[in-house]
Amino acid sequence: MKDDRNTVQAIINCLGGAGNIAAVSNCMTRLRVVVKDEAPVDEQSLKNCDAVLSLLHNRVNAYEIVVGPGKCRRYADLCREMGLGSNPEESMTAGENWQQNKADWDSRQTNSRVKSALKTIGDIFIPLIPGIITAGLCAGFASLISQLVPNYAESKGWALLFNLLSLVNVSFMTYISAWVGYRAAERFGATPILGGMLGLITSLDGINEIAKLLGLYDEAVPLNSVLHVGKGGVLAVITGVLLLSYVEKKIRSRMPDNVDIIFTPLLSLLICAIPYITLFMPFFGYVSSGIVWVFSRLCLSQHILVRALVGFVSATLFLPLVATGMHHGLVALYSVQLEELGYVTLYPALAMAGAGQVGAALAIWRKAKAVGNDHLCKVTAGALPAGLLGVGEPLIYGVTLPLGKPFLTAGLGAGFGGALVMAMEVASTTWGPSGLLGAFVMTAGPNGAVKSVLFYLAGLVVSYICSFVITDLVLDKQELSPASEEKKTQPEPAKTPAIPPSAEQPVRKIHHGEPVSFDSADGSFEYTITDAVGIHARPAGELAALAKGFDCDMTVSANGKTASAASVVELMDLGALQGTRLTVTAKGKDAPAALRAAEEFLKENL
């Protein structure tokens, strides 16, 4: 816990301090932070933090810090314990309102409208993921019971379990439009309960009565009606809540304060309900039907080769979407399929991308071990368990993406697994779980629950093997030697005049009068900090980047502690303030040059 607190404190310092944090949340692998001002944020130092696998900055004032599963929730909880990001109104002013930041966003980004829209959809659904996964798992287990225990209804125990699992699933799926409406209102700045009410309208029987009064209901074939219960689904809800946020703000700006709480919500909901029911629901109903029609023709094509090709392409291209953070935009497609069909056909193929990462990582580990790259072996082995369980981002950002080629070979290998599961018409009851854990939700589709799970597991094995083989063939083990890997994965060292090591270097004085002695193998020097702040985020990050650029082990000692010069967190944990005496030590091939570079850096920065 102490290490987590130190890491969180280092991250906060890199983000400009506690006073600059407006909102904190997390998803499965990322700590999501909204800051008030980007100016004091030190992105390079943040990337150099040991716990940070990658940093995404795709929206104004918003940062996604990839730290891995488990850690992201612990870090978010620690931030809340510190009282950070607890003011939702402040969050809105710090970049959460997409319309307030539209002009700034358009001026800073290229092709930003599509990307911003996808990110917005992701933001709406991310808080719903625990419910989505829980409902899907319950549906999957219930489906397995119905197939593996055909007479379950005759057994009180099995019948009770089946009905309990079904009840949990229905509790989410029946009212998914309400959950989406509530969250969309939070995202767009409307009153959340009003957004939930607008979304809930979609699922109520009164919609059919209104459709009959307006002549929009087909008594013979209700599903062919222009308007009926559920028409438009989550796409209509998101658009309706966007309108609601605009109308509510306009009314509130003109409503007297003493009657605001009474009339603003009433007028806002009534005004928006009319176009929502008569226009948005029918229009997006046809849009949803069109989306499902396209996916049905591709993912559920009668031609097995068409399905296999779609699965291969989908799984191969999914990793670039994950790396750029755009994969969350796909949840709208999943939701439409789930609402219209009762299952999802695209997700099982995309889930193979994580398996491709595992296969590529195994090939990397084997070759790294052969060339003695213990660091890369340790990083890979640490990320593999999460990858096997379906959390691939630690492998993406910690292993394959920094190396380049394996990121591509992992996608290619995953394509073969995607082709298999799509060809075999595997379908899922939800989205979210993947890897080995994903087997419990791959219970839908025309083949039945058991066959669907077995085909999914076969797809994982195919992805593991193909990614391993392709990566093993393409990747030269010499590229993974410690020196080569360091050049590819570490930041460039600070620009310092190159001083070749020599067997004998003269003893010289630095400006504080301490002697600095260097030899060819190791050496050390002492330095007293004159900077008023001491070692904080920026110089710690720059010194860590500098240290990583040399082939030697460099440490910094102060206050009875010793820190690796390559670790931002350890450097900041020294508590080195103005007047603190540092001892810098280096051992290894580049020790003399590293010490001279460190000396110059300290004189200029601390």
Q: CA–CA separation, 497 vs 306, rounded Å?
A: 59
**DSSP code per residue over 481-531:** SHHHHHHHHSPPPP--------SB---EE-TT--EEEEBSSEEEEEEE---
- Residue 419 C-alpha from the chain's centroid: 25
Q: CA–CA separation, 329 vs 511, rounded Å?
A: 56
Closest CA to 397 of 415, 414, 380: 380
Helix, strand, coil share of the chain (percent; to 5): 65, 10, 25
Under 8 Å CB-to-CB from 40, ≥6 apart: which residues? 15, 16, 17, 20
Coil, strand or helix at 581: strand
- Residue 294 C-alpha from the chain's centroid: 28
Question: Are β-strands 515-518 and 508-509 bridged in parallel, bridged antiparallel, or unpaired?
Answer: antiparallel
Q: How many CA atoms lie within 13 A of 164 on its CB side?
A: 6
Coil, strand or helix at 556: strand
Q: CA–CA separation, 114 vs 143, rounded Å?
A: 37
Closest CA to 432 of 190, 184, 155, 127: 127
Q: How many CA atoms lie within 13 A of 509 on its CB side?
A: 4
Tokens of 298: 């591709």
With contact defined as beta carbons under 8 Å apart, do 398 and 410 qualify? no
* b/e sequence 338-364, b meaning 16+ C-beta within 10 Å: bbbbebbbbbbbbbbbbbbbbbbbbbb
With contact defined as beta carbons under 8 Å apart, do 202 and 281 qualify? yes
Closest CA to 5 of 59, 79, 73, 94: 79
Q: Which residues are catalytic?
A: 27
Tokens of 288: 């949803």
Beta sheet of 508-509, edge-to-edge order: 508-509, 515-518, 522-528, 581-587, 553-558, 561-564
Backbone torsions φ then ψ of 368, nearest 5 degrees: -65, -40
Angle at alpha carbon of residue 260, lines to 259 and 265, rounded to 5°: 120
With contact defined as beta carbons under 8 Å apart, do 345 and 429 qualify? no
- Residue 382, exposed/middle/buried by CB under 10 A (0-12, 13-18, 19+)? middle
Q: CA–CA separation, 422 vs 447, rounded Å?
A: 12
Coil, strand or helix at 284: helix
